[in-house]
Structures are given as structure tokens and as C-alpha cells.
Amino acid sequence: MAKMTAAEAAIHVLKKEGVDVTFGVPGAAINPFYAAMRKVGGVDHVLARHVEGASHMAEGYTRTKAGNIGVCLGTSGPAGTDMVTGLYSATGDSIPILCVTGQAPRGKLHKEDFQAVDIQAIAGPVTKWSITVLEPAQVPRAFQQAFQIMRSSRPGPVLLDLPIDVQMSEIEFDPDTYEPLPAYKPSASRAQIEKALTMLNESDKPLLVSGGGVINADASDLLTEFAEITGVPVIPTLMGWGSIPDDHKLMAGMVGLQTSHRYGNATLLASDFVMGIGNRWANRHTGDVSTYTKGRKFVHVDIEPFQIGRIFGPDYGIVSDAKAALELFVEIAKEWKDAGKLKDRSSWAEECQERKRTLLRKTHFDNIPIKPQRVYEEMNKAFGKNTRYISTIGLSQIAGAQFLHVYKPRHWINCGQAGPLGWTIPAAIGVRRADPDANVVALSGDYDFQFMIEELAVGAQFKLPYIHVLVNNSYLGLIRQAQRGFDMDYCVQLSFKNINYTDEQADLAEYGVDHVSVVEGLGCKALRVTDPSEIAAAFEQAQELIKEHQVPVVVEIILERVTNISMGTDLGGINEFEELAENAADAPSSIASLT
């Protein structure tokens, strides 16, 4: 045993739990924790410009690699309230992050002390556990329990609030013999898997829906293997995108109201059986539930008991970690295949592939101003299969999911449930910190980009380079499109005449913010594209700038002001506002060229 401050003991626990970097903003009430981090050593720190930004950096860090847990630090009061959006985002997508806040001294918590707020109560609804630790000797155990809670069952975030006097108090703690607590994850039984497989085998046109839980469980290879053994096509959800490669012969497309493929929706509607693994049946995936469920049976496998039956009652439910379930699915499916018990699905799989080849959206437009579809076509050509894409919300993210290609798990890193504007830049920085060798490409509309643009300075300061594709139509594009239902275009225009543009740049002046100047002022590099024929060269130049300067590089692409992107309220009634591809040659970014 050794004497040390409670904060020092906490740093030792972080190291034993595998943490080697934190993201945050120091302040008076958390300074003892920073002092401990400096004294103990072994835990690096990335200084954010905003505590919400730090929480999204922690999210990006966690989402990049299996086993990662991002840690966000902030002082008392507004630092904790700034973290709430990150905690909500992490909860919605089952992402474990640890937020640590400083707090006023224990004796002043009830006296309205400066920056004293009941963050335990505020954060409670958006965390798995939120607590103000009042006894110094409990600090290392609170951290130990936090990691167990974050990793157990459905993963999620925890907030630990530490009064300043608790951090500074001396305690006895032995870091050398510390051991992490085992995480609990429910496992399916053989009988359950055999029943589910029997139901699948009795169907004629089955599908597997692969959710984010498959990626969280690091079970994508098992999912693909199970699909290959049974011959059953796979529909990944937005959060499960990459669990099977886009160019795999059994990848049948994404389904949904927005982030979906025409062929994916058509295939779902043609199916008679769906097995969901690690998914939530989110409303933007299902649309109208009666349409989604009509004429088909469902099996739902999820780690959280309350997810089963939450949206609709499946015909059969299994509470299990996705990896544990898929290990048994693969084992039993192999046995059944060897015994000749599995149906031949080749005809159904080919039917799905035919839709994938023919139900396409057009991407090759030569218009000026640029149509957004062309941007994604060029991204597919410029960035390879190892690219990690980061995006959050808006028409840019929706169109990106309709047209981009993802080939590996954790290569589409998206805030799916919460969708907070501003998430993309800090998340991309967290991804880059987690994988220094990655090709990181972020995608934003102009409003998402402006929300937390200051975090680009973090990328410049800490040499965390990535490419940020900024599609600028000077509009709140998704909200403008939604306002069509109210026959209005109200308070969604970001355009104004920027007086700092030259006369030669009069057309750009109407787009308002000069993003190139702002980005360069933050220590990064920026390029602007106004002609579709110049996009490819800009992407190539951006990659060279990253090699040379090791800072974020923004490629701003000036779009036409108004484009409506395919979406609807029901899977059977998606509005296709733009031209459809007549053939694969008319949609070179289409997956059809890969099948």
C-alpha cells in the first residue's frame, strides 16, 4: 500500500484500465486531477477548445477501435453541463465514454458556491451511472466500477464528479495489485440459437439486419461468416454499416427513410423473414412500422432485454451479446450445412443482387454550381477502402450514406441517435488520435461545420491531420427540405453578402461565411472548389497538404443552393427528387460497379 491523493489513485486506475490519453479543458476545480495526471505520468492529454468538443473527441476515440474508452475531463459547473450532449450522444449509440468533472468542496455543495451544480442529477438520464464521490477512499473504486458498468451489457457512458477536496485528500491505495472487474454480457443458449435458425430455415426470402451492436461486440467477421454459411443477404443499419463490406455479394443495401438505398428498401419489402442482431429498430430505419413488419416474421437478438419488444413484438427474441450469439450461430449453421439441413438461398441472393445492379440513383452531374451527388462520386474515386468516414447529421450525411462506400467495421463513424450539429470536427480529431495511421475523411454541411469550428485549432496544435469535405449550400438544408411540408422557407438561410469578398468573388460573397479564411486563421489548410471537374484534383492536393503540414485540410465545395435528397415517411413511398440512373455507367459511384 502507498499513500497518495485520491486523484493520483484515479490516474493509476485509468492506466490499469488501458487509458493512455484524455481529452478536456482544465479549470480550478479539476486542477488536482491534472496535477495527478502530470505527476503519475503515462496518460497523455489533448486540450480541446470547448468541453462539448472534448466529449465528442472521446466518442470518436472510443468508436475507432474495439476496447477503446475515451475519457473527457472538465471543471465544475458549465464544463459538466457542456458534456451532457456528448453523454446523450454516447448513450444513444451505446458508446462507452468516461466524463470526469471537478466540483466545489463538499462543505459548499449546498451553498450555491461558484460553479457548483448538481451534475450528478443533470447527467443521470443520459448516462449508465452518474455520481458525485463524497469519500476520498471511494475514488479508485468508483473508477473501477465505472469501467465495469461502461463495458457490461449494453455499453454506455459514465460521469464521475469529484469535489476538489476529495481529489486532494490522501488515501491508501496499491496500484500494483489492482485488477479490472469483469464485464457482464449475456449469452444465448444453444436451444435459443437452434430455434431462431429453424425459423430462418423455414422462410423463403430471409434477411439479416446487422446493427451497431455487431460492431460494438467486434463481431463483424462472424456476421459475414454466418451470412456466407447460410447464404442469407445482409441489410446493415446505419450504425452497423461496414459490418459486411459494401462489395460483398450478400450485402443487400441499407434500409430506411433517409440513409438508405433504393435496392435495400425494395429487398426488405420483398422479404418474408428478418433476423435483427444488435439493432434497435430505429424509426428512421423502419419508417412506418406496419409497412415494415407486414408479411414477414422477425427474430430479434439484442444485448439489452428492454430493446426486445420496444418498437414491435418480434416472433422470437433472444437476449445476448452479438458476438456470443454469432459464435453459436456460426457453429450450429456449419453443423446444419454439413448435414444438408440448410436451404439453398442462391436464387434469393441473386434476386437481391439484381436490384442492387439496377435500382440506382444518378451521381454523375456536371452542373455548376455543383450538385452534391457528384461530390460523393468523386469521394468514392479518391479515397480508398481503408478510409474512415466521420459524419453526424444533415443532408450531407444522408446523401453520404446513400452514395459512399464502406468496407470495414468502424469505417463509418456516425452519431446516429442524437445527431448533434458540430459533432463531426471533434469526433474526427478523436478518431485521428485513436488511429494515427488512418485515412480520416470527415463530411459536413456548412452549419455542422460552423458549430464547433474552433476545434480545428486542436488538430493544428496537436498535429492530428485529416481531410474535411465541407459541402456548402449556405442553407440548413435538411430543415429547409422538411419545411416544404409547411410551405415555407423560414430562418434556414445562412446566406448574406460578405463584404470582405472581392468584386471578382461576388458569387461567393452571397454564400456568407468565408470558411477558407476562418480555417486558415485556425492554423489549418483549406481549398475551395466551384467546378465539378476540379474536385478530384482538390482531393489529391489535400492529401499532399496533409503529408507536408500534418494539420487538418478542409476542402470546401460550393454547391447549388437547393437540392432535395431522396427520403420519405414510409419504405414504400420514398420520394426520388433527382434523376435516377438508367444504368450502372450513369451511376459510377454506385455499388453496382462492384457487384
Catalytic residue among 21, 51, 126, 508: 51
Annotated catalytic residue 51 = yes
Neighbours of 229 (CB within 10 A): 17
Question: Of 164, 330, 421, 571, which one is the catalytic site residue?
Answer: 421
Q: How far apart are CA 262 and CA 249, in angstroms?
A: 17
Which whole-number Å values give the CA distances from 419 to 36, 89, 105, 392, 474, in the listed order? 35, 7, 35, 6, 19
Residue 439, phi then psi, degrees to nearest 5 = -90, 105
Judge residue 504's burial from the number of C-beta atoms within 10 Å of its C-beta, 0-12 exposed, 13-18 middle, 19 or more buried. Answer: exposed
Catalytic annotation present for 421: yes
- What phi and psi values does residue 255 have, to the nearest 5 degrees? -120, 145
The residue count for the chain: 595
Contact 468, 444 (CB under 8 A): yes
468 sits in which H/E element = strand 467-472
Query: Residue 557 gets which letter from DSSP?
Result: E
The question of whether 479 is a catalytic residue gets the answer yes
Q: 434 in helix, strand or coil?
A: helix
Identify the helix (H) or strand (E) that includes residue 198: helix 190-202
Q: Are 516 and 358 in contact (CB under 8 A)?
A: no
Q: How far apart are CA 141 and CA 87, in angstroms?
A: 21
CA atoms within 13 A on the CB side of 53: 24
| Residues whose CB falls within 8 Å of the CB of residue 290, separated by 6 or more in sequence, listed in order | none
- 294 class by beta-carbon count within 10 Å (0-12 exposed, 13-18 middle, 19+ buried): exposed
Handedness of CA 502, 508, 510, 512 (dihedral sign): negative
From the centroid of its chain, how far is CA 138?
33
Place of cell 412500422: 289
Backbone angles phi, psi at 234, to 5 degrees: -120, 135
Q: β-strand 129-132 against 297-302: which pairing, if any?
A: unpaired
Active site residue 476: yes
| E strand spans, 346-414 | 387-391, 412-414
Phi-psi region of 32 (alpha: psi -120 to 50; beta: other; left: phi over 0): alpha
Cell of 284: 428512421
Determine which one of 13, 25, 164, 555 is catalytic. Answer: 25
Instruction: Fill in the amino acid letter for 584.
Output: A
The closest alpha carbon to 473, from 391, 536, 563, belongs to 563
- 40, 431, 476, 513: the catalytic one is 476
Q: Would you say the C-alpha torsion 232, 237, 238, 241 has a positive or negative sign? A: negative
Q: Which of 502, 494, 488 is nearest to 474 (CA)?
A: 494
From residue 516, alpha-carbon distances to 58, 474, 492, 595 in Å are: 27, 14, 22, 39
Active site residue ranges: 25, 51, 421, 476, 479
